[in-house]
Amino acid sequence: MKFATPAGENPIDRLSVVGRPVPRIDGPRKVTGTARYAYERHDAVSNPAYGWIVGASIGRGRVVSIDTAAAQAAPGVLAVLSTLDFAPLAPGFRTTVHLFGGAQVQHYGQAIALVVADTFEEASAAAHLLTVEYEVAPGRYDLAAEAATAEPVADRDAPDYPVVDRIGDFEAAFAAAPVTVDQHYTTPDQTHAMMEPHATTAAWRDGKVTIWTSAQIVAWHRPDLAKWLGVTEGDVRLEAPFIGGGFGAKLIAQCDAPLAALGARAVGRPVKVTLQRPLVINNTTRRAGTHQHIRLGATRDGRLTAIGHVSLNGNLPGAFAEAAIAPTRLFYAAPNRYLTMKLAALDLAEGNDMRAPGEAPGLMALEIAMDELAEKLGMDPVALRIVNDTQVDPREPDRPFSERHFVECLRTGAERFGWDRRNPTPGAQSDGKWLIGMGMAGGFRLNLLLPSAARVRLEVDGGLTVETDMTDIGTGSYTILAQTAAEMMGVPLAAVTVRLGDSAYPVSAGSGGQFGANNATSGLYAACVKLREAVAARLGIDAADAEFRDGRVLSGDRSVALAEAVREGPLVAEDGITYGDLDEQFVQATFAAQFAEVAVDGFTGEMRVRRMLAVIDSGRVINPTTARSQVIGGMTMGVGAALMETLAVDVRHGTFITNDLGFYEVPVHGDIPHQEVVFLDYPDNKSSPMKAKGIGEIGLCGVAAAIANAVYNATGVRVRDYPITLDKHLAGLPRVA
């Protein structure tokens, strides 16, 4: 099915199942331990061996030799795979690193050996017996030190934008503006910190391999694995039915999957491999830190006349730049713009996708700058954003937004949060020893459209079986796909069985970039349309006016049980969604208004978030329960970004020293207060037949800046270097009586 014109009324609009707050249908499996994750496939393999990956202990250079004799002689050891015995694995999809093979070391923690043994403990112990000799080369590990070498680069995911994006005459407009902001902001390197580390179980049979792995997008992993293993894609079956979080870290294959498969082939047994947390951090991908220079010029009534945004970050040669300028392109109206990204070469683990890539760090800076501009203007921060709302693409004024209700997000949020009680004078409100502040920020994230397919089968008992390689990374994919099928075919939710994450199923959009839910359900919608046609044909009913409801098919005066259509055997339909150019005719995006109240201890500088509110404009909400979970998860992640999270770099050796969850701090339950989420109800008929848009990322966008602005309102100390830790404002705190 090609979606090329705005959606009209369709069966989803009935909203008898879709749009309802349904608990996750996979919940019982998760709480009873019957949801099998990649490392737990005891049901699929027997007598597995265990692999332990050894990472390089230098930041750049080459491996001269690896003495494996002691490890091979250790108890239980079955094989030792040395990087020197393999040709380099070619870089995979959306990446530039060699995961294994060859002598070159591109970054600290790069996999250089796999020890396979009968038990996990034996593999770990033997791995520590390897003796490795290196030739160390000078490395580039400090972004500030390499800034002068940075070059302007294109946006990997928006190549149509010029490398230096100019509209109007920014320099003249900024110089002439009566009110300006000219500031620098930094965001640190961050890690995804998902609960389940990268993990794989692999088993060979008759020259074919089955790989159970933690993959967000099955179809992105499978071709690379086939290439690395020297087999055809048809010889690789990949399964990922349950994933314990990803946040972008599992979009692309990491070293655990090919090494598990190589190890299993070497020992003739299934092999299980998981990355220990320091290897997750130093071996896989990260969100690259940024240095951002933002300049805003405005008239005295708050209208922006000039926006300048230059973002710098560092990555491996040939890798991509974190597109922190992405939200600035489209968020606010201004006739004069200067936007560009610069990339410096660093020899650190690869910077790549992490939840809301571009928008998350970009808004951490832009939305502080907007707060600073509001203060200079003596204007309310909410009012400033309303004045600068735009309903069209600033670069292409003839290209409107499909649905943009950002102003309503702002006004609804201000009313619900009690924004009128905020004292605009920083450091002026207290509660005993606590300094109290309120802050807000806007959120923006593009809606991405990707092809997605599914297969649906009407069984002889009247039940439905849905099959697609779509994944569920804790987001609720099982549930919303079941809701979609139930709505389309007019059956109870309990009659739907959903099977996910298997490369034997039709290829879906997968999970990531908040594109999964809208595209995957749209692909299933297309398959259900085809199944409805098949049912109608078997019953001798015109599909065009057939209604599927309560387990029956209605047409005119006829009412036939759905089960009648499968009296002679099940019916199967397979189809997918593809898209025309509606996303080119219209800007499709999601929006948020984020509000936060914080308390800062006037003596110690300790910060506590007291209240949070998100108002979200994201099209039709398929399931309010799972959608709210996504948003409050994003809000929680925003607390970490604002106040805690940083990958500290040892610039001498190129390693991240905050390399486990003891030193890399993330929020815990005690850090998170009451969180309120409000969804606006504006289905977007230009997005898909579901009229939905993404939610997984917009819940994070703007959160950190809202907290940062609240800390400033509480203390009067402006911190522009994330995370905002107490040492950065302690000396400037106002006196507390």
Maximum Cα interatomic distance, the chain, rounded to a whole number of Å = 83
Instruction: Please tell me the predicted confidence (pLDDT) of residue 137.
Output: 98
Cα dihedral 479, 480, 486, 487, rounded to 10, equals 150
- Give, in degrees to the nearest 5, the angle at Cα 431 between 425 and 432: 125
Q: What share of the chain is helix, strand, coil (3-state, %, to 5)?
A: 30, 30, 45
Cα separation values, 287 from 193, 361, 562, 598, Å: 11, 9, 50, 26
- DSSP 8-state class, residue 699: T
pLDDT, one tens digit per residue, over 707-734 is 999 999 999 999 999 999 999 999 999 9
Please provide the average confidence, as pLDDT, over all residues in the chain: 97
446, 589 in Cβ contact below 8 A? yes
266, 82 in Cβ contact below 8 A? no
State how far Cα 355 lies from the chain centre.
3
Portion of the chain with pLDDT greater than 70, in percent: 100
Instruction: Please tell me the predicted confidence (pLDDT) of residue 183.
Output: 98
Beta bridge partners, 315, equal 345
Q: How far apart are CA 536 and CA 544, in angstroms?
A: 9
Instruction: Please tell me the predicted confidence (pLDDT) of residue 737.
Output: 55
Cα separation values, 397 from 335, 392, 401, Å: 11, 5, 10
Please, which pLDDT band fits residue 406 given cuts at 50, 70 and 90?
very high
Of the candidates 387, 392, 334, the residue with the CA atom closest to the CA atom of residue 170:
334
List of domains in the chain: 2-35+449-581 (3.30.365.10), 359-446+588-737 (3.30.365.10)
Catalytic residues: 697
What's the whole-model pTM score?
0.98
Instruction: Please tell me the predicted confidence (pLDDT) of residue 6.
Output: 98
pLDDT, one tens digit per residue, over 672-694 is 999 999 999 999 999 999 999 99
pLDDT, one tens digit per residue, over 541-553 is 999 999 999 999 9
Instruction: Please tell me the predicted confidence (pLDDT) of residue 225.
Output: 98
How many secondary structure helices (H) and strands (E) does the chain include?
Answer: 17, 31
547, 554 in Cβ contact below 8 A? yes
* Mean pLDDT, residues 228-248: 98
